[in-house]
Amino acid sequence: MNIVKVSAAALMLPLACTLCAAEIPLGEVKCLENGNWSASLAVERRGNAKMLIPHSVGEIKSYDWEKITDGKVIVRCRPGWGMTYRMLALLNEFGDSYAIIQKGARFHASFLSAKAKGDGAKEIILESGYVPVKGEKFSRNLPFKSMVIPFRGGWFEAAEIYKKVVADEQYLKDARARNFGQLENVGFWFWNRRTSDIVIPPIEKFAADSGVPVALDWYWWHDIPYDTSYPNYWPPREGVESFRKAVKKLNSLGIYAQTYINGLSWDMDDPTWKDGGERCGKINRKGKFVATAWNRFSKHRLAEMCGDSEKFQQHIRKAVRSVVPCGFQGQYLDQIGNGAYGCCWATNHTHAPGGGDHMVRNFRKYLRKVQSENPGVHLSSEDCNESYMDIFDSFILTSPSYERFNGGGKVDFEKVPVFPAVYHGAVVLFGNFATMSGIPAWDPKWPDSEKWTDEKDWPTLFPDQFPVELSRGVIWGAQPCAHNFRIEDASNPSCAKLYAFMIDTARFYHANRDFLLKGEMLHPGKMDCSIKNVEFLNRGTYSKKGEYSVATHELPVVFYSIWKCPSGKRAVILVNWSRNEEKFALKTRDVSCEGVIPALSWKKVEF
Ligand SMILES: [Zn+2]
């Protein structure tokens, strides 16, 4: 192993971001045909430019620019999983790149978009927009600051600019000032489903085998089938007495635990809907409820709630007050983090119809009530976001497993950790969909005829999927996790190396929390290592019996990130997820190192 400390000047790296660069003024604020308002700026697109999109942690996407015609919307981002932070960037291959940023918009129904100007998208129109409430008008300014900043470099330089823009925000100071308590000591999460006799034994075994403190995000503990009959969560599926006993056992084992409750949706096809559901539902511009039938068996429609939904919120608050006192340290409230945004056009709600900022403000009031009724209990929700990050203590991620949601075929984008580069340490990230057996959880309340009866040896057919998904989140600074981990997986001979890697990952993460939980991400520089084409099983919770597809993605065999911990120590964190020993050579602004990493193993290089 050779390690050399270097200065930026010694390396032929992209130029550092021009943090002091002047902003370029956007055009006049204009009212669009649909009543929204926006300001825009056309910038030059050069070479094989890419877009840096605020989907989940962040995403880089390439385009076939020559085929794009004048006026085409290349990307439009709205709050939720489609815009977790408010920056969209054009990464030009040559010359200046451009970041369009909204400052102070985290409660607002804002949007960012990029449109082609001229055939072949010779120029890109970057647009900052807003959906007002009815009657709200603007002349020169939207209710937040919009800016375009030119810079040189890639996603990390864009993240550095954004980090500087949000540095003085009070929500960030408040979020960072929190004590995360037992959450800080978690070394591995289990995203397990069903009753305690299925959920707990594999966790207990893993905790004993690894010696690392673990956590449980407990799904399907409730009697109702998944994605049906919300918000009627109590009583537990296995009975109150058995459930309480199980939680006591988790407590005695020192396992941090939280249960699933959906914080956003009410089942329109449940009898309780007639008792206040209609009054609470979010209404779109056409006057309809915003509803999705996620559960393909029951086909029940889950309607999203408006923030002005007292009756619904009372149901959820009561459910939380029933569950938490059993002995849980946290409460997971699904969909708020990635779905409680945007507009409601109801005319019988307390807010004016339209966008504005009422949705997030009202959801925050509801969350504050949950907090005050359950003092000391952590709240958790889905995906990165700025709107609620000072209230929720943790966010679950599925994006470390993004290839499995591609619907088959070649994956043509890359997730990059912009959100952690900006916000790491201010909120705890955890999670992925890494499923060692390759078999999604099955709810016995679904029809028996739909259950797969001829499972294959998925870990042998897709040997790289589990280690890629498991290790990627850790490299981004998220706590590691396994999904639907069953007791038989821990002793399956096909999975022996994967189980050993799980244990190594838990121990490595836990021993390096100073960097991976609390650290500041440093410039990634350039890595030289082998590239491998990886196949991913695409099969979801609701996939039809016998149906699956395969996605492929070319990936570097060594994932890595570089961190400075609060005490000032710096380290490169590396993982070789492949089944062969691999060489690597890394050059960054701060360090240059090279070496060899054994198969399926982690390495830390301090400098
Ligand atoms: Zn409303």
What is the pTM (predicted TM-score) of this model?
Answer: 0.96
Quickly list H helices, 114-195: 155-166, 170-176
Question: What pLDDT score does 151 carry?
Answer: 95
Question: What's the CA gap between 485 and 435, in Å, rounded?
Answer: 7
Order of strands across the sheet that contains 330-334:
428-430, 394-396, 378-382, 330-334, 256-262, 214-219, 188-193, 481-483
pLDDT at 8: 38
DSSP states of 159-171: HHHHHHHHTT-HH
| Portion of the chain with pLDDT greater than 70, in percent | 97
Q: What is the mean pLDDT of residues 512-521?
A: 98
Between strands 73-77 and 110-117, the pairing is antiparallel
Q: What letters, b where the CB count within 10 A reaches 16 and e where it falls short, cover 532-571?
A: bebebbbbebeeeeeeeeebebebbbbbbbbbbbeeeebb
What pLDDT was estimated at residue 21?
66
Report how far ligand 1's centroid is from the alpha carbon of 288 (Å): 12
Distance (angstroms) between ligand 1 centre and the Cα of 96 equals: 42
Kindly state the average pLDDT of the residues 182-203: 98
Q: How far is the CA of 130 from the centre of ligand 1 (A)?
A: 17
For position 19, what pLDDT does the model report?
Answer: 53
Any bridge partners for residue 91, and if so which? 50
In angstroms, the Cα distances linking 65 to 35, 92, 94, 96 are: 30, 12, 15, 18
Q: How many CA atoms lie within 13 A of 22 on its CB side?
A: 3
- Give me ligand 1 centre to Cα 351, in Å: 6
- Label the pairing between strands 481-483 and 409-410: unpaired
The DSSP letter of residue 578 is S
Q: From CA 248, how far away is CA 513, in angstroms rounded?
A: 27
Residues 6+ apart with CB under 8 A from 543: 440
Pairing of strands 291-292, 302-304: antiparallel
DSSP alpha helices (H): ranges in 129-273? 155-166, 170-176, 196-210, 240-252
Which of the four pLDDT bands, split at 50, 70 and 90, describes residue 22?
Answer: confident
In this model, does residue 56 exceed pLDDT 50? yes
> How far, in Å, is the centroid of ligand 1 from the Cα of 23?
36
Q: Is 551 in contact with 438 (CB distance < 8 Å)?
A: no
Q: How far apart are CA 221 and CA 143, in angstroms?
A: 43
What whole-number percentage of the chain has pLDDT above 90?
A: 95
Strand order through the sheet with 409-410:
409-410, 549-556, 531-538
Phi, psi angle pair for 278, to nearest 5°: -60, -40
Contact 216, 258 (CB under 8 A): yes
Residues 482 and 202: their CA atoms lie apart, in Å, by 11
Arithmetic mean of pLDDT, 236-240: 98
Task: Give the list of residues 6+ apart from residue 54 with CB closer than 8 angstroms, or none.
Answer: 77, 82, 83, 84, 85, 86, 87, 88, 112, 418
> Coil, strand or helix: which one is 59?
strand
Measure the CA dihedral 556/533/580/602, to 10°.
Answer: 40
Stretch 504-522: mean pLDDT, rounded? 98
The H or E element that residue 415 is part of is: strand 413-415
Contact 100, 91 (CB under 8 A): no
Q: 346 alpha carbon to ligand 1 midpoint, in Å?
A: 5
Q: Sorting pLDDT into bands at 50, 70 and 90, what band is 208?
A: very high
Q: Measured in angstroms, how far is the CA atom of residue 170 from the centroid of ligand 1?
A: 27
Give me ligand 1 centre to Cα 537, in Å. 40
Residue 250 predicted with pLDDT over 90: yes
Total Cβ atoms within 10 A of residue 231: 25
Cα 308 to ligand 1 centre (Å): 5
| C-alpha pair distances (Å), 395 with each of 16, 290, 304, 336, 431 | 31, 24, 20, 10, 8
Confidence of residue 10 (pLDDT cuts 50, 70, 90): very low
**Vertex 177 angle, CA 173 and 181, to 5°:** 150
140 CA to centre of ligand 1 in angstroms: 28
Flag the least confident range among 4-18, 68-82, 118-132, 284-298. Answer: 4-18
The pLDDT confidence band at residue 94, using thresholds 50, 70 and 90, is: confident
Radius of gyration of the chain (CA): 24
With 60 as the cut, is the pLDDT of residue 4 above it? no
How confident is the model over 436-444, as a mean pLDDT?
Answer: 95
Q: What per-residue confidence (pLDDT) applies to 6?
A: 44
Averaged pLDDT score across all residues of the chain: 95
Identify the bridge partners of residue 295 per DSSP, sorted by sequence position.
Answer: none
- How many angstroms does the Cα of residue 344 sit away from the middle of ligand 1? 4
Residues with CB in 5 Å of ion ligand 1: 306, 308, 344, 346, 349
Q: CB count, 10 Å around CB of 485?
A: 25
| Residue 600 predicted with pLDDT over 50 | yes
pLDDT at 11: 40
Q: Is the pLDDT of residue 9 over 80?
A: no
pLDDT digit string (tens) for 340-351?
999 999 999 999
**Residues in contact with 577: Cβ distance below 8 Å, sequence separation at least 6, in sequence order:** 464, 467, 468, 470, 471, 557, 559, 600
Q: What pLDDT band is residue 13 in, cutting at 50, 70 and 90? A: very low
Contacts of 168 (CB under 8 A, 6+ apart): none
Average pLDDT over residues 480-508: 97
Please give the distance, rounded to the nearest whole angstrom, from the Cα atom of residue 399 to the centre of ligand 1: 30
> In 3D, which of 414, 423, 415 has the Cα closest to residue 176?
423
pLDDT in tens, 548-577: 999 999 999 999 999 999 999 999 999 999
Q: How far is the CA of 283 from the centre of ligand 1 (A)?
A: 7
- Is residue 475 scored above 50 in pLDDT? yes
